[in-house]
Amino acid sequence: MSMQKTISSALISVFNKEGLEPIVRKLHEQSVTIYSTGGTEAFIKNLGIPVVPVEDVTSYPSILGGRVKTLHPKVFGGILNRQDNEQDVQQMQEYDIPQIDVVIVDLYPFEKTVASGAPEADIIEKIDIGGISLIRAAAKNFKDTVIVASVNEYSLFLDTITKNNGATSIEERKLFAAKAFHVSSHYDTAIFNYFNTDDTFYKESVADGKVLRYGENPHQKGFFFGQFDEMFNKLHGKELSYNNLLDVDAAVNLMQEFKNDAPTFAILKHNNACGLATRATIKEAYVDALAGDPTSAFGGVLIANTTIDAATAEEVNKLFCEVVIAPAFDDDAIAILQQKKNRILLVQNDIALPTKQVRTCLNGLLVQDKDNITDGKEHLKTVTTTAPTAQEVDDLIFASKICKHTKSNTIVFAKNKQLFASGTGQTSRVDALRQAVDKANSFHFDLNGAVMASDAFFPFPDCVELAKNAGITAVIQPGGSIKDELSIDYCNQNNVAMVFTGTRHFKH
């Protein structure tokens, strides 16, 4: 059997006809017999190119409102027959089955129909039956048949038959088959997820993986699977790296907490906030965020919850930073920030973020709901005789939002809606607190009157004692320790306000 095969017949049945015309004209030019159905058949006829209706092959009309058109032995026999199998050859002759060398399909747009909010009846009608069956059949028989399973492959197929004068190699057919099985599995996953209500089943299919320069380190391969361009408009800068993307993800999730707040600016490094402030203007917010840790800010990822103007851009331009993210940039701000050729500028589009988090673990995956609880005033339960002031309540909620997005174990200090310091990723809460105190002192922040947030409860009163000695006057924590009363008693004896939220915010 020759591994090089010349196409003599093609079955075309597609939803998306954009880009189909040059293929049809090239096949006609190469004397290929074309079979087709329904709208595709009419499209080809309108081009003035001969086409054989599938009904003429099957002697059976399209029925059930078009639900059944190609599901027939004469169609699938023409696709699945093995040309080097004597019995298959005999049966093709016996039943007068035409050979089909190439199948071109583009499936009904199921995912787009779901995303449009269409009623269920319309969604169900966009579950392709004949098309998906044609794809699997042709891909299975790639030794003899070419499968073009998506509008995304039209260009590649046209290039192939143009270059080879209508012939394909076994390697090319196998490549098209691999792409086809990706199309079919992705399609079936989308349908399953539409119907699935059982959280113990997890299926995900993400197309169009992007090759990154490398992974976390230069010796590791890295890829990004996702629709980055749906979420961001990239205005300027180099390609994002694996580590850039992780920091961008952390920045976006953190700023989501402040989406509807007054102008807020955050600076992140290694997925943690090293500076964050809410102010009357975005410039003031940036200046005070930078003051939180100007050392760590070097090479960081910056994000704002409102438009970055020229005055803010002038300040940002003084700092070496990798990425700047905002919902919008003034034209003057773009011109200023583009002065550094590698600096990445991203406009964040307002789209829904995933509701699940997935990560590899051992020989499998861990899947969980995102931590979608943001501590608010309605969640606070004052457990001490001293109640926090209105200003302290605002600062406690502000600190809690940051704490939720900081690596555990963590302690966050804040005052006047400015991040003073945090202790991040420590193996004990006491160590995290001491780290935060040392960091605040190193940048000359006065902790007197500041508040403290903790991502989990205090098992002993040592943390509140250290905090009081540093100047902290109010504390927010989830509570839930069997020794909560020890911390409450210490606060009562030392005029420290403490509130419980009832919600732990570990981030591992």
- The CA-atom distances, in angstroms, between 385 and each of 279, 388, 490, 492 are 31, 10, 11, 6
Half-sphere exposure for 307 (CA within 13 Å, toward CB): 10
Task: At 475, list the tokens.
Answer: 């504390």
Q: How far apart are CA 307 and CA 337, in angstroms?
A: 14
Is 356 annotated as catalytic? no
CA 201 to chain centre: 20
Alpha helices in 276-309 (DSSP H): 282-291
Q: How far apart are CA 187 and CA 37, in angstroms?
A: 22
Phi, psi of 78 (to 5 degrees): -65, -25
First to last CA, the chain: 57
Task: At 378, list the tokens.
Answer: 């309605």
Contact in structure between 14 and 104 (CB atoms under 8 Å): yes
- Nearest-10 Cα torsion for 496, 455, 432, 457: 60
Q: How far apart are CA 285 and CA 289, in angstroms?
A: 6
Is 28 annotated as catalytic? no
Query: Tokens 């400015």 belong to which residue?
Result: 418
Contact in structure between 39 and 55 (CB atoms under 8 Å): no
Q: Report the run of H or E that residue 428 belongs to, with start and end.
A: none
Task: At 341, list the tokens.
Answer: 């050729």
Q: How far apart are CA 17 and CA 353, in angstroms?
A: 32
- The residues facing 293 across adjacent strands are none
Contact in structure between 133 and 181 (CB atoms under 8 Å): no
* Residue of 234, 270, 340, 379 with catalytic role: 270
Handedness of CA 301, 245, 304, 285 (dihedral sign): negative
* Residue of 140, 182, 186, 379 with catalytic role: 140
Task: At 425, list the tokens.
Answer: 């990723």
- Catalytic residue IDs: 140, 270
